Amino acid sequence: MDEATEGGAVKRFLYVNRKAPYGTIYALESLEVVLIGAAFDQDVSLAFVGDGVYQLTKGQDTKALEVKNFSPTFRALDDYDINKIYVDADALRARGLTEADLVIPVEVVSTERMAQIMEGQDVILSF
């Protein structure tokens, strides 16, 4: 346990993103939770696993779909002091992607490291 949790005031929140954007609304509405949650001064981490990594890819152009391209919003996370963003290395590799294909700097982690990160959380919001 870290000091923050022992104090009881701050909990470790992990948002697990496993779904691609646009095909369903989960990714967008999940990001809305993250942004609102930022005001609560909790210890926040984001994990991108499986198709969730597609939320972060560069070059999204949604004009023809008439929906908002929300990928630039991830760049604002740093302004909200949300900077623990973990991406599963296997998920990237399986999809032919590298960190250079993503809209924000992230920490690319092994499955074992991601499992550790998940284990250390108080609240896991999965979408």
Footprint on this chain of other proteins (rule: CB under 8 A)? 11, 13, 16, 18, 25-26, 29, 32-33, 36-37, 39-40, 42, 49-50, 111, 114-116, 118-119, 121-127
Instruction: Produce one character per residue of 74-90: b if its CB has 16 or more CB atoms within 10 Å, e if not.
Output: beebeeeebebbbbbbb
Q: Which is nearer to other proteins, 20 or 50 (CB)?
A: 50
Residue 1 or 100 with smaller CB distance to other proteins:
1
Q: Two tokens at 66?
A: 């008439």
- Number of other residues whose CB lies within 10 A of the CB of residue 45: 21
Complex with other proteins: residue 33 or 76, whichever CB lies closer: 33
